[in-house]
Amino acid sequence: MVFDYLEGGADGELAVKRNRQAIELLCLRPSALVDVSHIDAAIELFGHRHPLPLVIAPTGLNGLFWPDGDLELARAAAAANIPFAMSSASNARLERIPAEAGGVNWFQLYVMGDRKTAERMMTRALASGYTALMLTVDVPVGGHRERDLRNGFKLPFKLSPTTAFDLSLHPRWLMALMRGGMPSFVNLADAESGETSVEAQAALLSRSLDPSLVWENLSWIRRHWPGTLMLKGVLNPNDARLALAHGVDGLIVSNHGGRQLDAAQASIDVLPEIIAAVDGHLPVLVDSGFRRGSDIVKALALGARAVLLGRATLYGLAADGESGVSAVLQLLAEDILRNMALMGTPSIGHLTPERVIPPAR
């Protein structure tokens, strides 16, 4: 059940496959006899310098994969000196991340029907030292995730005979869950009672968010968040231009890892259009489907400032907590540097669109 939640996508999972296929079909054009004795993969992003063009993406229910999963991810990110994006659907109080992990932290916001909840989370994130807000904009309704429906993965959770048998086959995971407690969406808690309603948790798990959110509501966001504001889930160049007109500070090109609109384009396919639409006026990041250093190099060559990692680092988390996440980041770092050397590109500035060869039509 937990594996399906991590691995699965929407409907027929075509967008999940499309993300991988689109990246794999791109080829790279190397240059020979270039001094690559020193490779620099560092980037500047929102006033911070990072040694790698990576961000740990916001993901929910990380406590299912490892006890205190959000904190384990954040610690690995801080050790690697890359940003960590904390999800509204996290299982740790958002105040714990800057206090216990340190590093550069961003907060990802889902706006639910009760906008007071979003306002409370923005206020708390700002007070806690988060340096950027990431508003996810591709969830007016939840994606139709058939694996989760088949497994009864919803709130309130009901233990069926099939699920009970499934859990019994994973005693090590079950013991860890019992020690850490059942994960819940603790950041939805009411400020006065400290309690989170089952209805609010169910709405967030099913992504039953505010379908009336529109561009004009960005002014409401700005009243509560004066700092760096990014939009996550942009796939349309017209939306990129609107974001620029509304004073957004950054964009994340994303199809939500193939978990929302199954017929959506692959993120990397639309990336050049989004970059062209903003014409260098704000940084563009990308996620969905990135597994290897060569994948990341392709996105950087097309103009992405950084790549967000979702499933890749979650597999490391599920395998070995913080150490597993750090191992994944180390593998990707080595892979990025090796591919840049093989490309004859000693720095990210040498990665340009002509280095990427699209598939023959």
pTM of the predicted model as reported, rounded to 2 decimal places: 0.94
Q: Which of 2-6, 151-155, 248-252 has the weakest average pLDDT?
A: 151-155
Please pick, among 48, 144, 246, 256, the residue that the annotation labels catalytic.
256
Helices and strands, counts by H and E, the chain: 14, 12
Among 77-81, 125-129, 198-202, 238-242, the minimum mean pLDDT is found in 198-202
Q: Which fold has domain 2-357?
A: TIM Barrel (3.20.20)
Residue 192 pLDDT: 47
Domain spans of the chain, in order of start: 2-357
- DSSP assignment of 292-307: SHHHHHHHHHTT-S-E
Active site residue 256: yes
User: What three-state secondary structure class fits 228?
Assistant: strand
Per-residue pLDDT of 253-302, as tens digits, reads 999 999 999 999 999 999 999 999 999 999 999 999 999 999 999 999 99
Per-residue pLDDT band for 157 (boundaries 50, 70, 90) equals confident
- HSE-up of residue 107 (Cα within 13 Å, Cβ side): 30
User: What was the pLDDT predicted at 190?
Assistant: 57
Q: What is the pLDDT of residues 7-43, one digit of tens each?
A: 999 999 999 999 999 999 999 999 999 999 999 999 9
Q: Is the separation of the CB atoms in 48 and 104 below 8 Å?
A: yes
pLDDT at residue 277 in the model: 98
